[in-house]
Amino acid sequence: MNEKMEYLKKDKNYTKVIRTEILFTPFLVIFPFIVGILFLYNWYNLGFLLNDPSYDGELLIGIIIIIGNLIFDIPFIKSLRKLAKDKKAQ
């Protein structure tokens, strides 16, 4: 396994990997929120206003997506910020 991760030990490749993660961060954070809000919006319009209980699954899916996104993205963003600070300190 160490041989497979050898490419990350070189500073140039490490910087490319981090740069790629930073560039994809907006997609990883914003896209799931948009999808979760669309589920909640669809549930509100079709399930809540029309009183149709068959759309309650969309409420559940929307809440799971938004909460899951918060749980995983907050530590991810914190680690990227810490890494950027450490990189500036060097």
Does the pTM exceed 0.85? no
43-57 burial code (b ≥16 CB/10 A, e <16): beeebeeeeeeebee
From CA 51, how far away is CA 56, in angstroms rounded? 10
* pLDDT grade for 84, boundaries at 50, 70 and 90: confident
Contact 77, 25 (CB under 8 A): yes
Higher pLDDT, 33 or 90: 33
Per-residue confidence (pLDDT) for residue 33, from 0 to 100: 94
More confident residue, 70 or 7: 70
pLDDT single digits (tens) 30-64: 999 999 999 999 999 999 999 999 999 999 999 99
